[in-house]
Amino acid sequence: MSGAYPKLLSPITLSGITLPNRVLMGSMHTGLEDKVADFPRLAAYFAERARGGVGLIVTGGFAPNIEGWLSPFGSRLATRRAAGEHRLITDAVHREGGRIALQILHAGRYGYHPLSVAPSRIRSPITPFTPRALSAAGVERQIRAFVRCATLAREAGYDGVEVMGSEGYFINEFLAVHTNKRDDRWGGPYERRMQLPVEIVGRIREAVGPDFIVIYRISLLDLVPDGQDWSEVSQLARAIEGAGASMLNSGIGWHEARIPTIATSVPRAAFSWVTRKLKAEVALPVCTSNRINTPELAEAVLAAGDADLVSMARPLLADPDFVRKAAAGRSASINTCIACNQACLDHVFSQQLASCLVNPRACHETEILLRPAAAARRIAVVGAGPAGLAAATTLAERGHAVTLFESAAAIGGQFNLAKRIPGKEEFEETLRYFGERLRETGVTLRLGTVATARDLAAAGFDDVVLATGVTPRDPRIPGQDHPSVMGYIEAITGARAVGPRVAIVGAGGIGFDVAELLAHDGPSTALDREAWLREWGVGDPAQARGGVAGLRPRPAPPAREVYLLQRKPGKPGAGLGKTTGWIHRTALKMKRVEMIGGVRYERIDDAGLHIAIGDERRTLAVDSVVLCTGQEPRRELEAPLRAAGLRVHLVGGADVASELDAKRAIRQATLLAAGL
């Protein structure tokens, strides 16, 4: 199993347990961990990934006690009875030949409940609850809870545990003076602040014996003021090695840090250089993480000597068969994670079950079953945007004879616009994947073909899936026929030149994208690690404490003077993704984009765009006005097809255009195709 990825697919032994390859499925909370009733689904989700060949799975975080809960009644492993319930999960993974470790996560002051505890009584900026400062006896109780959780994990059949020491959770809070103001044996100089994880790992090793994997997730870059500097991180790494850990995994950035660490605009492998620094400090195997999403990249990172293993969480959500496809030389057919966060982390942070935008089966393995069709039908799919592509490939996979019609010269629909936005280059990967899937599943593709109702009826299809997408909404602003006015498609494709001063009407997803594109000059920083680190003010922790102290963001100057407008009162961007909205808003602020809410559009003329904000009237003296005012469904084929007696199904924007996003389009199309 070496082929094109000799390093990635080579075995490694941790504490006497040999893993078949260097792919670690990183911990990610899905929401299925919280209730035992959901364990069968969690087991199916992990089993599918084990079958796909991943070297070692790490579960989402389980608290060692109630004080360490992430949220009230959230995932916890603290009793023998609970350990028995985990057997379902570990057995399912082992039956597929996989290995699985349980992550022990004590949320500390990030706990979203009134019982949270921390080294000091300091509330985090992202939770409403002020934690209780632990007494010395209280600290001892937490250590014992960690150790008990690890022994219960062993009893439950896990192959190991990961002790979560990063991301600003409980252990990390002891390490940084930012949150640890204690003066007892757990606070003060670093030697004392770091004693907590060293005790935890040492006592876990003592309790579980030598033949059990103990991973410590170490915070390499805290990305907060008063975070750890490199001499402290390396001192801790060596002490953890001495305490008996099997491996160190990389953690980057506290949750409260205002620097993106995994969003799609973060360059691929943006932080593997920090794991490389760690590797130089210890003899233990080290694992790198963050924005590594293809086997080629993972191999390159290992070949460069940055790490011994690669952690991928979201890429395994996107494609459970990532490793198996890589090993079979079919990397082009991997459904690549585009780092959008839209269905995974955005869901988790809004108390919904995680899934994946490009793979709606993720965490729904027991419900969305792609069984062979009872009887093969002839099905036409009209429109090769995300919805049409998902429908066509799923239908064909199930054995239907599918013809996909697309009026443009290429597949992709609105994704062809998205991929042109700086920081959204990953969207191209989804088009590559679907292109490959169309070939693999045998869909007949008719590009550059306008499908008419008459042709479709004459061709004798049994069903027609209309995935004809959207058309831009007309905002009816007086003067919008002025030569300065254009639609977003013209602005994004470059079909029309945009002047140095520009007003964007509409601040939805597309308005923000257009602002990003027009404010930006030169190559995308998502493709240039050094430029990106400079842009966000991230540096070497050997020089800057926490990777940020004394540094300030140094973005390139804006390419244009940009105004981004909406009629709704309040700051634009409130409806953007839960975990990424702040990044888009910050990026535009860095480009000095003026974002204005509560606007009435009065008219457009030679002087520019005239607006009113309450009683105030303002003329934005702009050279260009770009309309990004939402969408209307395109479904003019529906009525004639129905009149001709065909079965018609609407998916994606053709069904409902308002606040259309690819997540809904792909999910709806997949569900439809799974049931036809």
Binding mask 326-345 for ligand SF4 (x = CB under 6 A): -----------xxxxxxxx-
Segment interacting with ligand NAP (CB under 6 A) among 32-40, 165-173, 224-232, 623-631: 623-631
Q: Does 617 bind ligand NAP (CB under 6 A)?
A: no
Find the part of the chain contacting ligand SF4 (CB under 6 A) among 31-39, 51-59, 109-117, 356-364.
356-364
Short-list 12, 80, 27, 25, CA closest to 53: 25
Residue 373, helix vs strand vs coil: coil
Residue for token digits 């469904």? 633
Site for ligand NAP in 470-489 (CB under 6 A): 473, 475
Taking contact as CB under 6 A, which single stretch among the options 124-132, 215-223, 615-623, 627-635 is the one that binds ligand NAP? 627-635
State how far Cα 46 lies from the chain centre. 18
Nearer to ligand NAP, 444 or 658 (CB): 658
Could you give the CA distance from residue 65 to residue 352 in angstroms, rounded to a whole number?
Answer: 23
d(CA 123, CA 168) in angstroms, rounded, equals 12
Nearer to ligand NAP, 369 or 574 (CB): 574
HEC string of 394-420 equals HHHHCCCEEEEECCCCCCCCCHHHHCC
Closest separation in Å from C-beta 583 to ligand SF4: 13
Q: Is 87 in the site for ligand NAP (CB under 6 A)?
A: no
Locate 636 and state its tokens.
């003019």
- Cα end-to-end span (Å), the chain: 37
* Contact stretch for ligand NAP (CB under 6 A) within 163-171, 225-233, 518-526, 625-633: 625-633
Q: Is the dihedral of CA 155, 160, 165, 167 positive or negative?
A: negative
CB of 663 to ligand NAP, least distance (A): 8
Q: Given CA atoms 29, 193, 149, 113 in this order, what sign does their dihedral have?
A: negative
- Of the residues 158, 169, 216, 563, only one is catalytic, namely 169
Which CB sits closer to ligand NAP, 295 or 608?
608
Please, what's the b/e burial string for 401-410 (b: 16 or more CB within 10 A of its CB; e: otherwise)? bbbbbbeeee
**Which residue carries 């003899």 as its tokens?**
283
Q: What are the tokens at 345?
A: 């982390």
Q: Quick check: 164 and 107 in contact, CB under 8 A?
A: no
Q: Which of 294, 580, 629, 670 binds ligand NAP (CB under 6 A)?
A: 629
**Near ligand NAP by CB under 6 A, which window of 69-77, 244-252, 347-355, 506-514?**
506-514
Q: Is 603 in the site for ligand NAP (CB under 6 A)?
A: no
Options 320, 546, 630, 652; binder of ligand NAP; rule CB under 6 A = 630
- The answer to whether residue 68 forms part of the interface with ligand NAP (CB under 6 A) is no
169 part of the active site: yes
CB of 25 to ligand SF4, least distance (A): 12
Provide, rounded to whole angstroms, the least separation between the CB of residue 495 and ligand NAP: 15
Helices (H), 607-661: 638-643
Residue 125's CB is within 10 A of a number of other CB atoms, namely: 8
Where are the extended beta strands (E) located within 354-398? 378-382
Return the number of the residue (293 or 416) whose C-beta is nearest ligand NAP.
Answer: 416
Q: Which of 508, 537, 541, 608 binds ligand NAP (CB under 6 A)?
A: 508
- 435 is a contact residue toward ligand NAP (CB under 6 A): no
Answer for the pair 379, 400: CB distance below 8 angstroms, yes or no: yes
Exposure of 287 by Cβ count < 10 A (0-12 exposed, 13-18 middle, 19+ buried)?
buried
Contacts of residue 373, Cβ cutoff 8 Å, sequence gap at least 6? 395, 398, 399, 400, 676
Residue 310 binds what, of ligand NAP, ligand SF4, none (CB under 5 to 8 Å, by partner type)?
none
List binders of ligand NAP among 566-585 (CB under 6 A).
Answer: 566-568
Give the residue, chosen from 99, 291, 314, 667, that forms a contact with ligand SF4 under the rule CB under 6 A. 314
Q: CA quadruple 115, 119, 121, 124: dihedral positive or negative? A: negative
Identify the DSSP state of 29.
-
- Among ligand NAP, ligand SF4, none, the one that 568 touches (CB under a kind-dependent 5 to 8 A) is ligand NAP
Q: What angle do CA 269, 270, 274 make, to 5 degrees?
A: 95
Closer residue to ligand NAP, CB minimum distance, 6 or 478: 478
Residue 576 lies near ligand SF4 (rule: CB under 6 A): no
| 180 or 394: CB nearest ligand SF4 | 394
**C-beta nearest to ligand NAP: residue:** 508
- Between residue 210 and residue 249, which ones bind ligand NAP under the rule CB under 6 A? none
Please identify which residue in 194, 278, 307, 628 interacts with ligand NAP, judged by CB under 6 A: 628
C-alpha 362 chain-centroid distance: 13
- For 109-168, give the DSSP string: GG-SSTT-EESSS---TT-SPPPEEPPHHHHHHHHHHHHHHHHHHHHTT-SEEEEEE-TT
For residue 580, state whether it binds ligand SF4 (rule: CB under 6 A).
Answer: no
Shortest distance in whole angstroms from residue 75 CB to ligand SF4: 20
Q: How far is CA 635 from CA 195, 368, 409, 573, 606, in A?
A: 64, 27, 20, 29, 36
**Of residues 511 and 537, the one with the C-beta less far from ligand NAP:** 511
* CA dihedral of residues 296, 302, 305, 306 (deg, nearest 10): 90
Binding mask 388-427 for ligand NAP (x = CB under 6 A): --------------------------x--xx---------
526 forms part of the interface with ligand SF4 (CB under 6 A) = no
Choice between 403 and 484, CB closer to ligand NAP: 484
Residue range at the interface with ligand SF4 (CB under 6 A); choices 353-361, 472-480, 513-521, 611-619: 353-361
Q: Which is nearer to ligand NAP, 115 or 408 (CB)?
A: 408
Which residues does the annotation mark as catalytic? 169
Which residues of the shown chain bind ligand NAP in the complex (CB under 6 A)?
A: 414, 417-418, 473, 475, 505-511, 513, 566-568, 628-631, 659-661
Which residues of the shown chain bind ligand SF4 in the complex (CB under 6 A)?
A: 314, 317-318, 337-344, 356-358
